[in-house]
């Protein structure tokens, strides 16, 4: 199953995709809110990208607190997911995430990516982690949005 992974942020949104077999996630791109006329235009672009990539599902990282409860950011992501879901013709899933950006930073450092370049691809790498975690779950354990 080809999927689109999203690490949503207020300023930047990292995207990842996977192979058609749903085995390996890879970085796709980073969208900056400043490059759009507003959040509605960003969501329209995400939906258009999902369609053009031919994905069968979209996976959005859900930033939960350490105890599994919602934070203000979690509530914002849920609201954005609801708005995005109305624009999609494929299912939207949540993948609970803890420290995905910190782990992505470590991944990039270990891969030898220069410090100045890491920030540019950090959100994409976080989306890769989110999507790869989702792909490793049995289908009955996936959380629909």
Looking at residue 125, its pLDDT comes to 86
Say what the pTM is: 0.85
Domains and CATH numbers, the chain: 3-144 (3.30.420.140)
Looking at residue 73, its pLDDT comes to 87
- C-alpha distance from residue 117 to each of 4, 113, 121, 128 (Å): 23, 7, 7, 17
For the chain, how far is it from start to end, CA to CA, in angstroms?
18
Give the separation between CA 82 and CA 39, rounded to whole angstroms: 13
Low-confidence ranges of the chain (pLDDT < 50): none
């Amino acid at each position: 199953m080809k999927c689109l992974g999203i690490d949503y942020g207020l300023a930047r949104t990292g995207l990842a995709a996977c192979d058609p077999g749903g085995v390996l996630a890879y970085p796709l791109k980073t969208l900056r809110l400043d490059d759009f006329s507003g959040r509605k235009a960003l969501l329209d672009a995400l939906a258009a990208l999902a369609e053009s990539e031919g994905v069968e599902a979209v996976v959005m990282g859900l930033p939960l607190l350490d105890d599994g409860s919602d934070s203000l950011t979690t509530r914002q992501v849920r609201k954005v997911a609801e708005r995005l879901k109305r624009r999609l013709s494929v299912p939207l899933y949540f993948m609970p995430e803890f420290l995905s950006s910190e782990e992505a930073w470590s991944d990039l450092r270990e891969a030898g990516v220069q410090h100045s370049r890491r920030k540019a691809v950090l959100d994409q790498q976080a989306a890769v982690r989110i999507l790869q975690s989702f792909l490793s779950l049995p289908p009955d354990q996936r959380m629909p949005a």
